Amino acid sequence: MSDPRLRLVHPEGVPEPGLPAPLGRQLVETGLITQTELLNALGLQRRVDAQLGDILMAEGVVQPDDLLAALARQHNAQLVDLNATPPRRKIASALPSSLCLQHHVVPWIWVGNTLLVATARPDLFDHLRRCMGAFGPAMLPVIASPGAIRTQINRLYCTQLAHKAITRVASVESCRNWGRRGNALWLWSAGFALTSCVILSPAWTVTMACLWAVLTLMMTTLMKAAAFGAQIIGGLHDHLSSAPPVPPPFRLPRVSVMVPLLHEKEIANALIKRMERLTYPKSLLEVVLVLEASDTVTRDTIARTDLPPWISVIEVPDADCLTTKPRALNYALDFCKGSIIGVWDAEDAPEPDQIEKVVLRFQNAPANVACLQGILDYYNPRTNWMSRCFTIEYATWWRLILPGIARLGLVIPLGGTTLFFRRDILERLGGWDAHNVTEDADLGVRLARHGYRTELLPTVTHEEANCRPWRWVRQRSRWLKGFMITYFVHMRHPRQLLRELGWKRVMGLQVIFLATFSQFAAAPFLWSFWLIPLGVPHPVQMTLGSAALWWMTALFLCAEGLSLILGLAAVSGRAHRHLLPWVPTMPFYFPLGALAAYKALHEMIAQPFFWDKTQHGYAEATEDV
């Protein structure tokens, strides 16, 4: 009884026998809400899977402190302030972290042999007792705010949760052993061999590089043509058409959306405004801002921002030499309450009814549909020439190629945002590979390998186009590095991969990952064909003859023509029609991709897990989103 915090425990903390008075009646009797407000909330509760208190708070009818006080009176339990009187670290051993996260509770103090446990859901406390079993400690509830409970769970169990976030994915499916088993030595050996070939036989070395460039160009061109054909047959814009959501005939589930932030001092206020436009019931929506503990810039920015009760913050503890988005997502996943888990980026502006579309599709989709991927677009295409080209590139990929890939039944490499998952399946797969810098594409492959499907959802999220050259190179190099590491990870056991995916989808992976990277890295060899009309001698002509050279040149020109057609088709809609004159300039946009590929090759050896952060907030939105 020497603990000074015990003075906060009410002597009548033991609940009296019998059922407590309903919360709504208590709130009406104390004058905190009216009878009409209670009836409206109860009517809404019949349509949504949320507690009455959450609905009243989300509707702005009752304040969080008043609700907690009412819960304490209802269950005859003590109301405590965990921020003022936090639990001591040694008490963490009293309850396992998994149960604390599952029940959203945290151990507070011992009173003799009785453990006082802070909870915001005292009605579920008996379930916690049953989970602990007959040999668990005697426990009594005290009432605390959900945010304070989450903060204390994070403080008490951060070490073990941080380790779990790094190792959630099975080692055989993770890239965390990259570089430890001779990968770096193999890459250095390949580089040495290539240098030797250039010195000993430069003409044949250039010829072989051109042949590889043309072969991978043929692969990507055939895939683009097949995807475009599938889109034309299936309806060019059918994947974007959908009826407006109507009130569904089922109770709406809770949805948690994680928004990872890092060094974001420009974007916080705009982010909150965009989230407030969402029309999904706020009592069922949980937006989790995921911050790195060492990121004082973002923390200070968020501290100056008024957050609504449905937006919370999770700070991810520091890890040695690993600060990646997937690690942060894995860590925050355990704190999410929703049965559907989503991911947005800091600069995203989702459509207001996006969550409704997600929920409705998951309700009607087959059980093996594990992921829904939204369509990405840009809200600043008019910033400069680079932003226009980036928008054309994204429109081609998201509105033509990727939907065509889906129609062809190939593996869909996920984008890093506007992703929504069935939580149970996501946890079964171990979440994201914490070491992979393109965790989205890797997760798309793992979903397919485990027999799950990804569907494209007809909803658009607008982002900020990267419109500065060096930032574009840094972002693209991270994508390309991750693509190649993902490719090598999943090609570790090609026979098993073939059994799981089949020939068609395995060949699709060769194009999406290997051939795509090769096209960026070998682009200068393809550009050399533009020198032929100028009369400049070409090494291929000296080694393979003029016929081979002209065949390769013709294939290159056909590929360029197809790219032009795809670009024009992608921006032919009303929203992007102003970009049509800029499509012919796309060949001048991609040379930076070669620089990004060489940067990626260097980092595959020297810094495979380095996350080259893309800064946002530099371009102002020039369109109404």
Residue of 248, 236, 442 whose CA lies nearest to 355: 248
Rounded distance between C-alpha atoms, residue 19 and residue 17, angstroms: 7
- Angstrom distances, CA of residue 602 to CA of 234, 436, 538, 599: 42, 16, 28, 5
- For residue 3 the two structure tokens come to 């603990």
Q: In what order do the strands lie in the sheet with 114-119?
A: 105-111, 114-119, 138-143
Q: What is the mean pLDDT of residues 312-333?
A: 89
Contact yes or no for 145/120 (Cβ under 8 A):
yes
Instruction: Between 568 and 44, name the one with better pLDDT.
Output: 568
115: how many CB neighbours lie within 10 A of its CB?
19
The pTM score is 0.90
50 confidence band (pLDDT: 50, 70, 90): confident
Residue of 490, 150, 478, 95 whose CA lies nearest to 331: 150
Mean pLDDT, rounded, of the chain: 87
Contact yes or no for 305/272 (Cβ under 8 A):
yes
DSSP state of 621: -
60 confidence band (pLDDT: 50, 70, 90): confident
568 confidence band (pLDDT: 50, 70, 90): very high
Q: 458: part of which helix (H) or strand (E)? A: strand 453-463
Q: What is the mean pLDDT of residues 264-285?
A: 85
- Angstrom distances, CA of residue 441 to CA of 171, 297, 513, 556: 17, 29, 9, 28
Q: What is the mean pLDDT of residues 31-52?
A: 86
pLDDT over 50 (residue 339): yes
Q: DSSP string spanning 73-114? A: HHHT--B--TTTSPPPGGGGGGS-HHHHHHHTEEEEEEETTE
Q: Where are the alpha helices (DSSP H) in 365-512?
A: 385-396, 402-408, 423-428, 439-449, 469-490, 494-509
Following CA atoms 441, 612, 433, 368 in sequence, which dihedral angle do they give, to the nearest 10 degrees?
A: -30
**Minimum mean pLDDT range among 259-273, 287-301, 433-447, 506-520:** 259-273
Q: How far is CA 363 from the centre of its chain?
A: 21
Strand, coil or helix: 403: helix
**Residue 461 phi/psi, 5° resolution?**
-115, 130
Gyration radius of the chain's alpha carbons? 28
606 confidence band (pLDDT: 50, 70, 90): confident
- For residue 580 the two structure tokens come to 């049509």
Angle, helix 325-333 to helix 146-167, in steps of 10 degrees: 130
Q: Is residue 603 part of a domain?
A: no
* pLDDT attached to residue 242: 55
Give 172's contacts (C-beta < 8 A, 6+ positions apart). 492
Rounded distance between C-alpha atoms, residue 263 and residue 267, angstroms: 10
% of the chain residues with pLDDT over 70 = 90
Place of tokens 């972290």: 97
- Angstrom distances, CA of residue 535 to CA of 354, 528, 552: 55, 12, 16
Q: Is residue 100 part of a domain?
A: yes
pLDDT over 90 (residue 490): yes
* pLDDT attached to residue 14: 43
DSSP state of 581: G
Residue of 89, 137, 85, 78 whose CA lies nearest to 112: 137
**Amino acid letter for position 70:** A
What tens digit of pLDDT does each residue of 112-144 get? 999 999 999 998 899 999 999 888 899 999 999
* pLDDT attached to residue 622: 44
- For residue 506 the two structure tokens come to 């395995």
- For residue 323 the two structure tokens come to 């600060």
Q: Is residue 69 part of a domain?
A: yes
Q: 297: part of which helix (H) or strand (E)? A: helix 296-303
* pLDDT attached to residue 235: 67
pLDDT over 90 (residue 559): yes
pLDDT over 70 (residue 411): yes
Rounded distance between C-alpha atoms, residue 197 and residue 146, angstroms: 64
Q: Which residues pair with 142 in a beta bridge?
A: 118
* pLDDT attached to residue 436: 93
Rounded distance between C-alpha atoms, residue 348 and residue 342, angstroms: 13
Q: 256: part of which helix (H) or strand (E)? A: strand 255-261
* pLDDT attached to residue 10: 43
Rounded distance between C-alpha atoms, residue 513 and residue 489, angstroms: 12
Q: What is the mean pLDDT of residues 257-273?
A: 82
Q: What is the mean pLDDT of residues 403-429?
A: 94
* pLDDT attached to residue 46: 84
Q: Is residue 436 part of a domain?
A: no
Q: What is the mean pLDDT of residues 487-494?
A: 93
* pLDDT attached to residue 306: 83
Contact yes or no for 459/357 (Cβ under 8 A):
yes
State the CATH number of the domain containing residue 82.
3.30.300.160
Q: Is residue 204 part of a domain?
A: no
* pLDDT attached to residue 12: 40
Rounded distance between C-alpha atoms, residue 615 and residue 1, angstroms: 53
Q: Is residue 95 part of a domain?
A: yes
* pLDDT attached to residue 625: 43
Q: What is the mean pLDDT of residues 152-180?
A: 90
Q: Which residues pair with 312 in a beta bridge?
A: 288
pLDDT over 50 (residue 9): no
- For residue 606 the two structure tokens come to 């020297």
Strand, coil or helix: 335: coil
What tens digit of pLDDT does each residue of 502-538 get? 999 999 999 999 999 999 999 998 888 887 777 778 8
3-state helix, strand, coil in the chain (%, to 5): 55, 10, 30
What tens digit of pLDDT does each residue of 345-394 get? 988 999 999 999 999 999 999 999 999 999 999 999 999 999 999 999 99
pLDDT over 70 (residue 186): no
* pLDDT attached to residue 48: 84
Residue ranges making up the domain that contains 110: 4-157
pLDDT over 90 (residue 323): no
- Angstrom distances, CA of residue 240 to CA of 344, 366, 375: 20, 20, 9
Contact yes or no for 221/556 (Cβ under 8 A):
no
Length of the chain: 625
* pLDDT attached to residue 602: 87
* pLDDT attached to residue 315: 93
Q: 555: part of which helix (H) or strand (E)? A: helix 546-570
* pLDDT attached to residue 430: 95
What tens digit of pLDDT does each residue of 77-115 get? 999 999 999 999 999 999 999 999 999 999 999 999 999
- For residue 366 the two structure tokens come to 């087959």
Q: 330: part of which helix (H) or strand (E)? A: helix 325-333
DSSP state of 182: S
Q: Is residue 123 part of a domain?
A: yes
Q: Is residue 276 part of a domain?
A: no
Give 358's contacts (C-beta < 8 A, 6+ positions apart). 255, 340, 342, 372, 420, 457, 459
Q: What is the mean pLDDT of residues 167-179?
A: 88
Rounded distance between C-alpha atoms, residue 470 and residue 612, angstroms: 12
* pLDDT attached to residue 456: 94
- The total domain count for the chain is 1
> Which range has the top average pLDDT, 3-17, 233-247, 492-506?
492-506
563: how many CB neighbours lie within 10 A of its CB?
18
